[in-house]
Amino acid sequence: MRRPETLRIDISRNKKTDEDYLLRWFVELDDAIRARHIDGDEMQVTFFLSNLTGRAKTWVLRLKLHDPNVFESLEILNSRLKETFEPPRAKFRARSALLRLKQGKRDVHDNAQHLRYLASSVSECVVDEHTLINVFIYGLVDGPVKTYMLREDFHTLEKAIAYAEQGDFSLRQSHANSSNYRPPRRQETGGPEPMDLCYIESENSRTLSHKRTLRCHRCQKIVHTLMSVVF
C-alpha cells in the first residue's frame, strides 16, 4: 500500500503563554499534525511537547515526572494548558471584545482578520452570522466604504468582508491617482503683452462715426461744434 505524501510545515516555538498567542499556536499545531499525517494519541502528544518551550514546557515536564501518563490524548493536553495559562473568563472577554469591535487605525483587512480570530475564540457560544455582519459593518471607520456597505444587504460575513476590501482598495487607488495629478503649468512670457490692433481700429471707427452724426445746436450743421462757429 502506497504511503500518503506528507507535508512538512514549520511551527513557531511556543514561547508565550498569553491567551492570544496560545490559541493561534494551537491552530498552527493542528495544521502541522494533519499535514504530517501523525496518527495515534501518543505520537501527537509527543510532537506537541517537542514544540513547547518556556514556562509551558517546564509545567508539562513537572506533571510528567509526577505521572508519565498524565496526558493520554492531545485534547487533554490542550484542555490542561488552557486551564492553566488562559486568563480568567477568557471566553466572556473575547465575546465582549467581539461585540464592541471597532476598526480604529487598522485597515479593512487587518480588522477582518481580528474579527475572524475573536469569532473563533468564542466558538463554544456561537455568535450568529447576521450579528457578525452588523458588528463588522458598524465598526468600520465613517467614510465612503461604510456608506456603501450600509446600502447593501449581505447574507454571509465573508461576502461583506470581500466587498469592504474591494471598496477600500478602490478608494486607496483613487486617492493615489488624484495625489499624483499635477495641472499643466502656464507658460510665462518675459516680454510685453501684444496689443490688440483690431480693438483699437474698431474704437477709432466708432468714434469717427459718432462725430459725423453731431449737429451744432445753433446753425444745425454737421461735423463742427459750437466753438467752431464764426461770429
> For every one of its 231 residues, what pLDDT tens digit does the chain have, with 9 covering 90 and above?
555 555 555 555 555 544 555 666 777 778 788 887 888 888 888 888 888 877 888 888 888 888 888 888 888 888 888 778 776 666 777 788 888 999 988 999 999 998 888 887 776 667 888 999 999 999 999 988 899 889 888 989 999 999 999 988 888 887 776 655 555 565 655 666 666 555 555 555 555 555 555 666 566 666 555 444 444
Q: Count CA within 13 A, CB hemisphere, residue 55.
A: 7
Give the C-alpha separation, 125 to 131, whole Å: 13
Question: What is the crossing angle of helices 108-121 and 129-138, to 10°?
Answer: 150
The three grid cell numbers given for residue 130, joined into one nine-digit string: 447576521
Q: Is the dihedral of CA 57, 60, 61, 62 positive or negative?
A: positive
Give the C-alpha separation, 135 to 143, whole Å: 16
Give the C-alpha separation, 65 to 48, whole Å: 17
Give the C-alpha separation, 102 to 12, whole Å: 29
Give the C-alpha separation, 126 to 120, whole Å: 9
Give the C-alpha separation, 95 to 93, whole Å: 5
The DSSP output letter for 227 is G
